[in-house]
A and B are shown apart, each in its own frame.
Chain A
Amino acid sequence: MIQIENINFQYAETEEKALDNFGIEIQDGQCVLLCGESGCGKTSAIRLINGLIPHFYEGTLQGSCTVNGLDVFSSPLEQISRFVGTVFQNPRSQFFCVDTTGEIAFAPENLGLEKSEILDRVNKTVQQFHIESLMNRNIFRLSGGEKQKIACASVSALEPDVIVLDEPTSNLDQDGIKMLGNIVQFWKQQGKTIIIAEHRLGWLKHLADRVVCLKKGIIQLDLSGEQFFAQSDQELNLLGLRGTNLKSDYFCYESPGLKCIDKTFLEKQISNREYLFSDFVFGYDRKKIILNMNGLKIPEHSVVAIVGRNGVGKTTFSKCLCGIQKGFYGSVSIGNTKYKGKQLRNLCYMVMQDVNHQLFTDSVEEEISLGLAEVDEKTVDDVLQKLDLTELKKRHPMSLSGGQKQRTAIGSAYLSNRNILIFDEPTSGLDFQRMEKTAKLIQKISQEKTVLIVTHDAELIQKCCTHLLVFV
């Protein structure tokens, strides 16, 4: 049983409470979903249970937390880790080993168990998770879904009573989510207590026994799974939550190619020009073509959602289109202008999923005008105005929030006159309000530019996309 009482917690570097008089009691074998807007305290609640608060993340803390009678605050982390296993959001940074087998054995090794016992556990876990084919592999060469599967397996090998998952689907596609659902189902059958902090809710519909919704560190709702999922999407959206009843036809990957999903697009259309893709073929060697978009036509000012399973070449497509894929010589033309190979850098710009990679300077103003030969202050101000960045123009880009960083990156594309903008998973990890804001921004941008979005987010597609480009 997990007992959390009257927790008040504030991270050392922030000014607001992350958890405000937070208390909850979780029975053994229950599967609890923690949800709420970004920054509502659901991740902090997870960290409380696995002991990272207060042993790793420091701050001011009052209250008490016990897991199976063990006092989390006074017990060292290695003792807590025997009872609580954690699956994290980001597959790239939760591995300690470079090989899959070593990774699954890692936690039992830390406990100092007998060698034969560890090998037994590894074998058992491998069978339970059906990951024979993933053994003895380099983790860096696995797909996101496979990485997450290994992460779950390595937690399972520890045989904890409690398993907590912190936004585990952020980097997964539909297949990956389904796979994770099966794993949670399996853990439920084993009688584990499961706590999941999540913003994508649909996949937990028949898994969560109980749903707790937080806002600003305070519990707002505490319902049974059935009651919670009986609510309509509108009701959920009002709570800042994502819908659970979305039609997800977008992700039936049967018919590849471009199709229009917004019937009003043709009426509203500002121009009838099209971007024509020619020689748009890429493969790492000649025999194996991994991308063929020859003859694709994308209408100007459209918003195209690029969907498909992980690993079918969506990223390669974006890289080719931005002119940064080595060995790619295809071209895109509009009217009489043709952009070939590296020249595509003058046409397209990508807003990366981790936008931290593309902010280099020490103020927003400098950032968006970086790389320009001549800087015209009025133009800069115009762009800042358009993107709601005027008040932030002297701020350091790294001190901004995620959305503001995204807008700064968009600003540099505006100033360098790129006409196609590509967004890589712009709403992964965002709550309803933030997602809606991003959707509105994208719609606004599409009046001047053409937008391509690589995404798994059905709500975003519904809100702002005019076309669907399916990769198979």
Chain B
Amino acid sequence: MELFDVHFQKRGLIFDPRTKLFTMLTIVIFVVGGYGTVPDMLVFFLEILPILLLLTVGKFKKAFLYSIIYGTAQASMLWGIAFLPETVRYIVTLFAVFIIRISPGMIMGAYIFSSTTVSEFMAAMQKMHVPNQISIPLSVMFRFFPTVMEEFESINHAMAMRDIRFGGKNAMKIIEYKLVPLMICSVKIGNELSAAALTRGLNANAKRTNICEIGFHVQDIFLFLIMLVPYAAVIFTKLGVLS
């Protein structure tokens, strides 16, 4: 539930969904894929950027939690591993690298989900000329996941009441116990959601209006320019300007 919790009254700094998607793309390219092609400082900035963005929409608790996780991973890479025995060092390195590379993308995802409304997303997709056949299913995700998470919470409560916990010989069974009711409820909700949307004229082939005002503002241009820096760095390196 927390993840998708958009506060409509105090939304903080609003970015255009396209800016967010471009930022996401840049983070994925340079943090997950491209170590060594751009200066380390730049990569470091991209890694902590999602946390800063979370702060702009007032998700302080979440931002704090992620900085702790990321900080721990980064610190253990910089200073921790030197003191560890060799076998442990490999495991720690593995985990730390995994967290440092993967988590920025995930945090960015969390930021996008908790700061974008369905209408904004649809409007952005329309402006980018993404066909309805792709944008409608994607926008349903915004709606579907919070519902499924509510279901998941109920299932967890039911399991707590039955005193079914992780551990012991039942560990594998537990996953089954959680998934079976979750899947049955998800299918049911998915069906109800589609039926409701169809009776209100949602249709992939027709042209749809969108009343949501989106557009690029000062903050968008600012973020866009920053996001262009790593690409520029790569080009300049290739040209031999930077070395």
Query: How far is it, in angstroms, between the C-alpha of A257 and the C-alpha of B164 when the chains are bound?
Result: 34
Interface check A350, CB cutoff 8 A: yes
Majority SS of interface residues in chain A? mixed
Interface check B172, CB cutoff 8 A: no
Q: Could you say which of A52, A140, A324, A412 contacts B198, with CB atoms under 8 Å apart?
A: A52
Minimal beta-carbon separation of A314 from chain B (angstroms): 15
- Verify B155–A357 contact, CB threshold 8 A: yes
CB interface residues, A 123-181, toward B, < 8 Å: 136-138, 140, 154-155, 158
Interface check A94, CB cutoff 8 A: yes
CB interface residues, A 291-325, toward B, < 8 Å: 319, 322-324
- Verify A50–B161 contact, CB threshold 8 A: no
Interface check A339, CB cutoff 8 A: no
- Verify A86–B211 contact, CB threshold 8 A: no
CB interface residues, B 47-68, toward A, < 8 Å: none
B198 — which chain A residues lie within 8 A by C-beta? 52, 55-56, 77-78, 81
Contact count band on B: 35 or more
Q: Could you say which of A77, A85, A136, A361 contacts B177, with CB atoms under 8 Å apart?
A: A361
Minimal beta-carbon separation of A35 from chain B (angstroms): 22
- Verify A371–B164 contact, CB threshold 8 A: yes
Q: Could you say which of B7, B162, B196 contacts A412, with CB atoms under 8 Å apart?
A: B162
* Smallest Cβ-Cβ distance to B160: which chain A residue: A324
Interface check A112, CB cutoff 8 A: yes
Most buried by B among A98, A136, A358: A98
* Smallest Cβ-Cβ distance to A137: which chain B residue: B8
- Verify B118–A99 contact, CB threshold 8 A: yes
- Verify B164–A360 contact, CB threshold 8 A: yes
Most buried by A among B8, B143, B151, B201: B201
| Known interface pairs A85-B199, A357-B158, A371-B162; A93-B193 also in contact (CB < 8 Å) | yes
Query: How far is it, in angstroms, between the C-alpha of A287 and the C-alpha of B188 when the chains are bound?
Result: 40
Query: How far is it, in angstroms, between the C-alpha of A56 and the C-alpha of B192 when the chains are bound?
Result: 10
Query: How far is it, in angstroms, between the C-alpha of A51 and the C-alpha of B198 when the chains are bound?
Result: 9
Interface check B119, CB cutoff 8 A: yes
* Smallest Cβ-Cβ distance to B164: which chain A residue: A371
A345 — which chain B residues lie within 8 A by C-beta? 160-161, 163
- Verify B196–A98 contact, CB threshold 8 A: no
Q: Could you say which of A52, A95, A357 contacts B151, with CB atoms under 8 Å apart?
A: A357
| Known interface pairs A136-B8, A349-B161; A92-B200 also in contact (CB < 8 Å) | no
* Smallest Cβ-Cβ distance to A349: which chain B residue: B161
Interface check A194, CB cutoff 8 A: no
| Known interface pairs A97-B143, A110-B206; A138-B199 also in contact (CB < 8 Å) | no
Query: How far is it, in angstroms, between the C-alpha of A108 and the C-alpha of B7 when the chains are bound?
Result: 24
* Contact pattern, B 162-186, Cβ under 8 Å of A = 1, otherwise 0: 1110000000000011101100110
Query: How far is it, in angstroms, between the C-alpha of A151 and the C-alpha of B146 when the chains are bound?
Result: 18
Query: How far is it, in angstroms, between the C-alpha of A99 and the C-alpha of B147 when the chains are bound?
Result: 14
List chain A positions with a Cβ less than 8 A from chain B.
50-52, 55-56, 76-78, 80-82, 84-86, 88, 90, 92-99, 102, 105-115, 118-119, 122, 136-138, 140, 154-155, 158, 319, 322-324, 345, 349-350, 352, 354, 356-362, 370-371, 398, 412, 416
Q: Top 8 closest A-B pairs, CB basis?
A: A358-B158, A93-B192, A110-B201, A360-B177, A81-B201, A102-B119, A94-B196, A78-B203
List chain B positions with a Cβ less than 8 A from chain A.
1, 4-9, 117-119, 140, 142-143, 146-147, 150-151, 154-155, 157-164, 176-178, 180-181, 184-185, 188-189, 192-203, 206-212
